[in-house]
Amino acid sequence: MKDFPGDVDSFHSAPYIEKAGPQGQSSDTQRRHPHHPMSMFNQLPGFVRTPAGLERVILRRMPRAFLLSALLPALAALAARWFSWSGSEAVVASSIQMVDIVAIAVVLLLWTLLLTLAIGAFIVMVMKGPAYVADGYPLVESDRPLDGPRRP
């Protein structure tokens, strides 16, 4: 038996990786010899991209949603300062501080929600994109280890 990288036959190499390389060499030759560069992104030939859907609309509206989700609670906090509160100065300051805390909490809640939604939309967008294949690697399929007795 040859060394591990050299004993790969055409049956174990993926058919979509078998394309001619430089000077007519196959990708199998390129895989065996590391001095031949390979493309970083190998697209799967014949893959049909799925058309863009709701995820693009969501991602396009994200900047406006982040801005409005910060602006509306901030306006509520500003309006609390213009509201005519009754009571002592300490009670009014405490009430305004409570409105500020709630506004900050609402902003953080909305930004967390929007960020989660944006991550989900981005994942869907990437999954609808072109399919890529990894570089093939030799897989030794044997009923026994290379250095031991036969496995059951």
Same domain, 67 and 113: yes
Which candidate, 33, 28, 29, 35, places its Cα nearest to that of 14? 28
Residue with tokens 């100065």: 89
Residue 135's pLDDT is 66
Residue 100's pLDDT is 95
Number of other residues whose CB lies within 10 A of the CB of residue 119: 10
In a domain, 19, yes or no: yes
- CB-side exposure of 65: number of CA atoms within 13 Å? 16
Q: What is the pTM of this model?
A: 0.58
In a domain, 16, yes or no: yes
Residue 131's pLDDT is 80
Same domain, 66 and 117: yes
Per-run averaged pLDDT (10 residues), the chain, 152 residues: 44 44 47 52 79 92 96 94 86 92 97 97 90 72 66 59
Residue 65's domain comprises: 54-128
Same domain, 20 and 74: no
